[in-house]
């Protein structure tokens, strides 16, 4: 058995060793990105304030500052947390797939449970820069999503997002295929799209839970 941390994985390594395949389009991702939501006046003003805060120096934030000053406030604004599922930070995920014992901390995770995560639906990875000595943000996000899929033991989509500074990318994994969205920048009107998509993830998680109740 080979012990392996999430930091060691890239998209190429996942595809070649674990048999996943990236596709240009995946119905579950298309459905997520098309989710309709119009923020109310309070949400609009709050998002604009977050955007203005980022403009003051967000490109110079480290990853902890990016998470605490921008990512978490935006996700909390979407009212993710409830008695059925919540947004958890820096929690461990681990499972065995084939000959690999996979484990690592997930920067952000939406999972069932209130005090501690149980069934993971969404994994987030944030990075300060496009390139980093600690690895590939896409691969680290995807391997966490694959572990979540394996733990859930169903065919439901697993959602993900990796954030590199001002740039957000959304991902969906279903069965052995995954797709990655185009870039969404938090420094322009796409911040409202980012928020809308997070609200969409919340809605889809609620649907998954109702189907399995």
User: 115 pLDDT exceeds 80?
Assistant: yes
Averaged pLDDT score across all residues of the chain = 93
The per-residue pLDDT for 130 is 47
Closest by Cα among 152, 140, 138 to 105: 140
Q: Which residues are CB-neighbours of 53 under 8 A, at least 6 positions away?
A: 69, 70
Percent of the chain with pLDDT over 90: 88
Region 21-27: mean pLDDT is 96
| pLDDT tens figures, 151-204 | 998 889 999 999 999 999 999 999 999 999 999 999 999 999 999 999 999 999
Span of 13-27, 70-84, 119-133 with lowest mean pLDDT: 119-133
Closest by Cα among 26, 12, 27, 31 to 179: 26
pTM summary value: 0.94
Region 47-56: mean pLDDT is 97
201 — alpha (psi -120 to 50), left (phi > 0) or beta?
Answer: alpha
The per-residue pLDDT for 114 is 85
Percent of the chain with pLDDT over 70: 96
Neighbours of 189 (CB within 10 A): 9
> Is the C-alpha dihedral spanning 72, 78, 83, 84 positive or negative?
negative
| pLDDT tens figures, 75-85 | 999 999 998 99
The per-residue pLDDT for 129 is 57
Pairing of strands 167-174, 184-185: antiparallel
The per-residue pLDDT for 213 is 62
**Domains of the chain: which residue ranges?**
2-212
Give how far Cα 17 sits from Cα of 2, 107, 115, Å.
13, 24, 35
The per-residue pLDDT for 210 is 86
Tell the residue number behind the tokens 């005090």, with chain if given: 115
Q: What fold characterizes domain 2-212? A: tt1808, chain A (3.90.1570)
Span of 98-112, 122-136, 146-160 with lowest mean pLDDT: 122-136
pLDDT confidence tier of residue 211, bands split at 50, 70 and 90: confident
């Amino acid at each position: 058995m080979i012990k392996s941390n999430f930091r060691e994985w890239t998209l190429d390594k996942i595809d070649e060793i674990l048999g996943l395949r990236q596709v240009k389009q995946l119905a579950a991702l298309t459905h997520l990105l098309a989710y309709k939501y119009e923020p109310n006046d309070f949400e609009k003003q709050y998002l604009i304030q977050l955007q203005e805060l980022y403009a003051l120096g967000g490109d110079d934030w480290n990853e902890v500052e990016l998470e605490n000053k921008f990512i978490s406030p935006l996700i909390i604004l979407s009212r993710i947390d409830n008695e059925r599922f919540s947004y958890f930070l820096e929690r461990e995920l681990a499972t065995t797939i084939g000959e690999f014992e996979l484990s690592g901390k997930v920067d952000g995770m939406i999972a069932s449970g209130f005090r501690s995560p149980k069934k993971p639906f969404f994994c987030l990875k944030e990075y300060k820069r496009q390139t980093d000595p600690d690895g590939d943000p896409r691969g680290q996000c995807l391997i966490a999503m694959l572990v979540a899929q394996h733990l859930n033991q169903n065919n439901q989509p697993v959602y993900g997002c990796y954030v590199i500074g001002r740039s957000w990318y959304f991902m969906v994994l279903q069965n052995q295929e995954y797709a990655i969205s185009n870039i969404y920048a938090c420094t322009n009107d796409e911040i409202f799209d980012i928020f809308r998509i997070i609200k969409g993830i919340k809605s889809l998680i609620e649907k998954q839970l109702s189907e399995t109740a």
